[in-house]
Structure 1
Amino acid sequence: MREDRLRSAMRWGFLLLLAASASRYVAYHGGGAATVGVLALAGVLLAAYAVNELGRFAPGVRFAAVIVAFLALVLVAPSFAWCAIPLFFLGLRQLPQRAVWPLVGLLTAAVVIAQIRLADRFDPSLLLGPVGIAAITTTVFLELDRQNRARQRALDDLLATRDELNRSQHEAGALAERARLSREIHDTLAQGLSSMNLLLQAADQEWDTEPTQARGHVRQASATARENLAEARRFVRGLASPALDNASLTDALRRLCAATERDTGTPVRFTVAGTVVPLGVDNEITLLRVAQSALANVRRHAHAHRTAVTLTYGDEEVMLDVYDDGTGFDPTVTSGFGLTGIRERIAHLGGTVTIESAPGEGTALAVSLPLREAR
């Protein structure tokens, strides 16, 4: 935009100086044949200037035609030397830097000669003035051009860096979303499918000997399938867990413990301690998913005789503890997807995870979330 304004100013400046020079020549020399010839040369210069500004072919040839027309006009009518100023800036803008100083020297020489021809006697200022002005102007213009190019390079680098950052953020967001969906699927759909598989296997084994109990297993599998279908629809719509629809976190955990006990036949005790306070949707979903994943690990790996789930509301944090008296494991060696998902979920909300276990000694999982974050 700034360059367009400068170009427009130089165009109007050239037209005004050309008109001023022509009017001055006519005023001093009248309207004879010489004046007609000078005005014709002025018209040639104007035409060459217009072609240079509007043309799209051979920029070097176009600009050379302007300079030749100008020198011819100044040779005949020195008063047209004023037009050197806009032509000077035109060359600085249009020519490569290696051609700038020769152009400046040529135009400055033309101006000096024109002034000497118009003056009554020689004055050193007629030489030193144009040379000094041309040198200062050219130096300033080249320095400004260098700074503009440097700023443009910096801007290009900044835009490139911004684009790279946007790509990196997009990729990081995609990876985070993929990890989130993996945790959600592991803690809900995968656990539900595993539970349905166990229930249907039990129903198949008892179909002939215990048909009533087998049908009960099938009904439980059907209920689990409906719950998993609701979870799948939630993934598509991006909603909260259906287990929390019109229910509190404590109600959802109590139902989860009851369902686990029903499916496994192992007692699962649920306890709430402290004063229950709202935690926020993200925190409640996270604690519910942690409990689902932990109980799924108990069901598949622990072979426990009893399990206890405790939700504790403290003054500054809320804690969820899941304990079983099963086979246990070495936490420094074993770290499956479920435990990794639990750590990622809790870390995302600024909480902590502690696992205490050893082979043959059961497992205690404790997670905590700060209430200031939960609210």
Structure 2
Amino acid sequence: MDPGPRADDYPESMMTSGEERRAESGDVILRALRLGLHVSVAAMLLVGVGRVVDGEADLVRRVGVMAVAAVFAVVYLGGTLVEKRAAEGAVRPPGRGLALIWLATVTLLWAVLLCLASDFAWLAFPLFFLHLHLLRPAIGVPVIAVLTASVAVVLWHQPGGAHAATVVGPATGAVFAVLMAQAYRVLHRENRALRETLEDLRRTREQLADSQRTAGALAERERLAREIHDTLAQGLSSIVLVSRAASSSLEAGAVGDARDQVGTVRRTAGENLQEARRFVAALQTGQQREPAMLDELRGTCRQIEAQAAASGAELGCRLHVEGEPRPVSGGQALVVLRVVQASLANVLAHAQAVEAVVTLTFVEDELLVDVVDDGIGFDADRAAADGAARNDGTGYGMRSLRERVVAQGGTFAVESAPGEGTTVTARLPSAPVPAERVS
């Protein structure tokens, strides 16, 4: 089954390579354009004030120009600082109404300066960009036409200004301003869209990483549940079963039998303790032990016979190996071992069987393991229909085995019927493994 996209499908390089460089380049260009606009406003304002101060204007006009220019500078600078802090996220962006009020104030102050001295006519050109940036084109372009006409009229009425250049110059500047403002608008819109796309990509990567961590935690919980059920829980179940038999032997006065049964409990508990230690070591190191499969299968058969005898049952267990044994990967060997251990534990606990046969078959492209008993059997179809794990932790074994086998690319089946015994079969595909000694 396709697990869906992973965080690795959106590597960090995707966000810091071409798209990120494009966004950074766009930011640089936009900042340069804004800086150029502000510098041109300041330069033309200073040039206008300087010409008036050095000119032949009377004192009242000079003072008036300087005062209005100072107010213009304060209002303009205040608006640009608010815009900068809003872009940095330090303050809330001003509403459109406040921006229009600021634009109207700046324009009105420029108009006053223009009435006081024609030297401020060229200050209109950087102001064109402000109008085209803050106003919709349907409104901004007519406003620019009015401002251009105002500049042309003022220049026309200056001494020696009644010629075509007085009209062509402002008109050309206005057209150029409109084109540049439109280019700025397009670049600003594309850069903002690119930044939003990059931010969406970052959020998607973070969400996928969170999903992967959650999925990894769930998978680890499932793995721990399988290991605990198939090792520690099975061993404790055997201890409980044999200890009950020991109690019955003591009540019946069979001290010798009770002593043997207590010895079985002690050995089983010791084996369970060793298994728990191996389990903890594997968690600490992250390295799963490599079982000596055939030796451990033989040991499992001996243990189940001893536990059956200690509990008063007559259960024999035989191991058959068919085909030529070959190296088996550690993961597959562990799956085979868990299938046999869990199946034999179920035989001892539920089947009331006399004999269980474990068959390990090596064929060319598969490894097969069968556990067959001659016990009382059960309704396999009904068990499959009711097969969810119960709240007390039981009913989990067959599902756990199936998950283990399927994780190795194999198939798992349970066949049984009342009075006909039970057969558990796992088929695992062959996989290339490092050479290892098969005992």
> Is 1:53 the equivalent of 2:80?
yes
- Post-superposition Cα deviations, 1:61-96, rounded to whole Å, max 9, x if no partner, equal 544443333333334344444444444445566x4x
RMSD: 3.6
What residue is the counterpart of 1:334 in the other structure?
A: 383
**Which amino acid in 2 is paired with 1:68?**
L
Q: What is the deviation of 1:10?
A: 2.1
Secondary structure of residue in 1 paired with 2:328: coil
Secondary structure of residue in 1 paired with 2:381: coil
Secondary structure of residue in 1 paired with 2:266: helix
Which aligned pairs between 1:61-210 and structure 2 lie closer than 5 A?
Answer: 61-90=101-130, 95=134, 102-118=139-155, 119-122=161-164, 125-126=168-169, 128-130=171-173, 132-155=175-198, 157-207=200-250, 209-210=253-254
> 1: CA distance between counterparts of 2:127 and 2:297?
84
> 1: CA distance between counterparts of 2:306 and 2:403?
29
Q: TM-score with structure 2 length normalisation?
A: 0.71
> 1: CA distance between counterparts of 2:109 and 2:278?
78
Q: What is the deviation of 1:175?
A: 3.0
1:228–1:90 distance in 2 versus 1, CA, 3 Å: farther
Secondary structure of residue in 2 paired with 1:322: strand
Q: Which structure exhibits the higher relative contact order, with contacts defined as CA atoms closer than 8 Å and separated by 6 or more residues?
A: 2
Q: Answer yes or no: is the 8 Å Cα contact 2:301–2:318 preserved in 1.
A: yes
Secondary structure of residue in 1 paired with 2:71: helix
Unaligned runs of 5+ in 1: none
Equivalences, count: 370
Q: What is the deviation of 1:296?
A: 1.5
Deviates more, 1:293-302 or 1:8-17: 8-17
Q: What is the deviation of 1:142?
A: 4.1
Deviates more, 1:147-156 or 1:347-356: 147-156
Match of 1:356 among 407, 411, 415: 415
- Post-superposition Cα deviations, 1:273-317, rounded to whole Å, max 9, x if no partner, equal 444444333322222222121111211222221111122333323
> 1: CA distance between counterparts of 2:369 and 2:423?
11
1:219–1:65 distance in 2 versus 1, CA, 3 Å: farther
Give me the identity figure in percent.
36
Q: Answer yes or no: is the 8 Å Cα contact 1:206–1:213 preserved in 2.
A: yes
**Which amino acid in 1 is paired with 2:143?**
L
- Post-superposition Cα deviations, 1:244-267, rounded to whole Å, max 9, x if no partner, equal 858512222221111011111311
- Post-superposition Cα deviations, 1:41-78, rounded to whole Å, max 9, x if no partner, equal 44433332222222469653544443333333334344
Q: Answer yes or no: is the 8 Å Cα contact 1:116–1:126 preserved in 2.
A: no
Secondary structure of residue in 2 paired with 1:172: helix
What residue is the counterpart of 2:363 in the other structure?
A: 314
Deviates more, 1:187-196 or 1:75-84: 75-84
Unaligned runs of 5+ in 2: 1-23, 83-90, 156-160, 310-314, 388-395, 435-439
Q: Answer yes or no: is the 8 Å Cα contact 1:196–1:224 preserved in 2.
A: yes
Q: Answer yes or no: is the 8 Å Cα contact 1:352–1:368 preserved in 2.
A: yes
Q: What is the deviation of 1:7?
A: 3.4
